[in-house]
Amino acid sequence: MKILVTGKNGQVGHELARSLQGLGEIVAVGRNQMDLSDLRQVRDVIRSVKPNLIVNPAAYTAVDKAESEPELAMRVNGEAPAVMAEEARKLGAGIIHYSTDYVFDGTKETAYLETDPTCPVNVYGATKLAGEQAIQAAGVPHLILRTSWVYGMRGKNFLLTVMRLAAERDELRIVGDQFGSPTWCRSIADTTAQLVARLDAQCGAVEAMAGPLSGIYNLTSSGRTSWHGFAEEIVRHASIAKAPKVTPIRTEEYPLPARRPHNSELSGARLRALNVHVPHWQHALALCQG
């Protein structure tokens, strides 16, 4: 297989370029080579590379900024995946695309299933849902992998922010009434590679994605916590001379431009049915910080 990976300098894209080695010829591109806001460039790159499989972790991920840049967020998260799917169909290729827990409104009390009704409460979630729907409508072999609370040791994310603030402050006030599953970007990449290898061994990865195994899968760490619980665990593993106090607060005490779901937990049962497992969030965090 020739595999085109987008967003090679992002958290997940960087890890995918490593994890997918051995499964085919990897062509990894960053924003300089393929800017998802330039739809013509997206088409041109795909037509030039002629991949058998497109793996697309690149996205507009500035959740709060999306509220003031809805057109740009929609072009990157909604329209660009539509172009990728269209070009993949013409090539007879498949596409793996990453989505988000934010396609849900967070009112469900238990973990969300892939089949639960979507209802995003912010612009970012709406644009990511549009990308999902465009790929599904294109009639192309596909996997859509929904993940949540992504972190790693590069880029901008909650882990790095908490580590920085913990070294500067005596107290961290962190939202304690939003729940989800923190997911290490390396876990996402390694699980993706595991999934592709499993499908490829069956009948070829793209062929498998064209059959009953196609569709949406939740790909998050197992276990559930709050942002406050996540922060406490980060501080516990961090090498800080004097650890700050981590105090839980309500969502209303930390207003942001974009609404967040109260519950972002995603069920991993569909992946587990394929014997594909993602590590528990605490175990993954310890490995990441270790």
Using CA atoms, how far residue 100 sits from 108, 138, 223, 255, 259, in Å, is 16, 20, 17, 21, 14
Q: Would you call 102 a catalytic residue per the annotation?
A: no
289 is a domain residue:
no
Tell me if residue 32 falls in helix, strand or coil: coil
Per-residue pLDDT tens digits for 22-46: 999 999 999 999 999 999 999 999 9
Residue 51: per-residue pLDDT: 97
Whether 270 maps to a domain, the answer reads: yes
pLDDT digit string, tens, across residues 143-173: 999 999 999 999 899 999 999 999 999 999 9
55 in a domain, yes or no? yes
Contact 112, 218 (CB under 8 A): yes
Per-residue pLDDT tens, the chain, 290 aa: give them.
999 999 999 999 999 999 999 999 999 999 999 999 999 999 999 999 999 999 999 999 999 999 999 999 999 999 999 999 999 999 999 999 999 999 999 999 999 999 999 999 999 999 999 999 999 999 999 999 999 999 999 989 999 999 999 999 999 999 999 999 999 999 999 999 999 998 888 778 888 888 888 999 999 999 999 999 999 999 999 988 889 999 999 999 999 999 999 999 999 999 999 889 999 999 999 999 98
Active-site option among 124, 151, 217, 254: 124
Q: Exposed, middle or buried: residue 280 (CB in 10 Å: 0-12, 13-18, 19+)? A: middle
Tokens of 47: 């037509």
Is 28 contained in some domain?
yes
| Domain-located, residue 111 | yes
Asked whether residue 124 is assigned to any structural domain, the reply reads: yes
- How high does pLDDT run on average in the chain? 96
Q: At what angle do helices 123-137 and 80-91 cross, to 10 degrees?
A: 20
Whole-angstrom distance, CA of residue 22 vs CA of residue 45: 23
In DSSP terms, which residues pair with 142 in a beta bridge?
A: 95
Q: Please give the residue range of the domain that contains residue 38.
A: 2-155+184-222+265-279
Residues 6+ positions from 240 with CB-CB distance below 8 Å:
166, 167
Residue 75 in domain? yes
CATH number for the domain spanning 97: value is 3.40.50.720
- Let me know if residue 173 belongs to a domain: no
> What is the tally of structural domains in the chain?
1
